[in-house]
Amino acid sequence: MAKRKTGLGKGLDAILPADLVDELEKNKSRRLENLPIQSIKSNPMQPREEFDPTSLNELAESIKAQGVLQPVLVTRDSEGVYILIAGERRWRASKIAGLDEIPAIIINRKLSQQELLFIALVENLQRENLDPIEEAEAYQSLSHRFELTQEEISERVGKSRSAVANTIRLLRLPKPIISMLKEKKITAGHARVLLEEKDESRQLRLAKLASDRGLSVERLGIIVLSKDKLKKRAKGFKDPDTEALEDEISMLLGTRVEIIRKKRGGKLVIEFLSDEELFDYVKKLTVK
């Protein structure tokens, strides 16, 4: 089904309930006003607790130069106080920029807490630079609170169903890895690779390795997937001590390692993707 085109701004018809969009389309010219910034309060159901100060300052500088290009949306509570529905970043940045007033579309209809939460969640997903865990938690909130399927969520936020599903999966990771992801020590790509590793202790070791040594997602994938692949290739039983040693050398070098034992001795196989990597591994193995 084709999306409706409105004059309310990019994506707003996807953020707001359909009947509310229709109401605004019919009356938007009458409802646009410049409101005192101090007369507006934040959305009490805003799920985001932190707003990146650097991003807000950059937006504030843009507002100083060009003004507020898109109005915020507000409604009135039972006491007549204006409550933000959408546009919290613009409102916060306008205060930083020193503006006294901000253009606003006023909705003369009381919204339920669920509607306020839903709008805030979808706006965050469409317009904010959420970290992967904040995004996953927002999808999960839409699913649990509003009983939306992943397909319905994907339609609301303009992303594929698989992208939504893969993002929600990140919440299965151990808390220390989730913290690393939020702190940008690893990327969502690294985190998705780590989900392929079922051993939690190895997950944590590999996450730390990726963070400490700046491993690419591709390289981390080689290490994570090596264990199962090597087990399938191995003839017979590989003892736990040998597997642990393979892991230890893999962690040291940051690549896939295989120990092949024979009746007498054996061989160590180290995978490399370029001569530069090979020389790097030689240096690590020859450090005195």
Does 201 reside within a domain?
yes
Q: Is the pLDDT of residue 170 over 80?
A: yes
Does 64 reside within a domain?
yes
Does 222 reside within a domain?
yes
Last residue of a domain, one of 119, 144, 162: 119
Percent of the residues in the chain that have a pLDDT greater than 70, as a whole number:
81
| Entry pTM | 0.62
> Is 88 a known active-site residue?
yes
Tokens for 18, please give them: 């359909």
Q: Bigger pLDDT: 35 or 234?
A: 35
Q: How confident is the model at residue 178 (pLDDT cuts 50, 70, 90)?
A: very high
Which DSSP category does 11 fall into? T
Same domain, 114 and 24: yes
What per-residue confidence (pLDDT) applies to 250?
77
What per-residue confidence (pLDDT) applies to 242?
77
Q: Is the pLDDT of residue 32 over 90?
A: no
Same domain, 104 and 200: no
Q: What is the residue range of 113's domain?
A: 12-119
Same domain, 110 and 190: no
What per-residue confidence (pLDDT) applies to 58?
92
Question: Beta partners for 73?
Answer: 86, 105
Cα distances (Å, whole numbers) of residue 7 to 24, 31, 69, 71: 9, 13, 13, 12
CATH of the domain at 110: 3.90.1530.30
Cα distances (Å, whole numbers) of residue 277 to 226, 254, 261, 269, 286: 18, 10, 25, 14, 14
What per-residue confidence (pLDDT) applies to 7?
40
Q: Bigger pLDDT: 76 or 3?
A: 76
Beta strands in 145-276 (DSSP E): 257-261, 266-270
Does 273 reside within a domain?
yes
What per-residue confidence (pLDDT) applies to 187?
94
Question: Locate tokens 């997602």: which residue?
Answer: 217
Q: Is the pLDDT of residue 162 over 50?
A: yes
41-60 residue pLDDT tens: 988 777 676 788 888 999 99
Cα distances (Å, whole numbers) of residue 86 to 118, 180, 209: 11, 30, 41
Q: How confident is the model at residue 191 (pLDDT cuts 50, 70, 90)?
A: very high
Residues 257 and 271: beta-carbon distance below 8 Å: yes
Q: How confident is the model at residue 3 (pLDDT cuts 50, 70, 90)?
A: very low
What per-residue confidence (pLDDT) applies to 18?
65
Last residue of a domain, one of 102, 119, 136: 119
Question: Which position among 23, 58, 88, 196 bears the catalytic label?
Answer: 88
77-96 residue pLDDT tens: 777 789 888 888 899 999 99
Same domain, 257 and 195: yes
Same domain, 107 and 201: no
Cα(69)–Cα(94) distance, integer angstroms: 11
Domains held by the chain: number: 2
Cα(46)–Cα(197) distance, integer angstroms: 35
Question: Residue 91, SS3?
Answer: helix
Cα(12)–Cα(3) distance, integer angstroms: 11
Which DSSP category does 259 fall into? E
Does 213 reside within a domain?
yes
Does 37 reside within a domain?
yes
254-281 residue pLDDT tens: 777 788 877 777 888 887 777 777 887 7
Last residue of a domain, one of 98, 119, 140: 119
Does 264 reside within a domain?
yes
Same domain, 111 and 177: no
Does 164 reside within a domain?
no
What per-residue confidence (pLDDT) applies to 28?
52
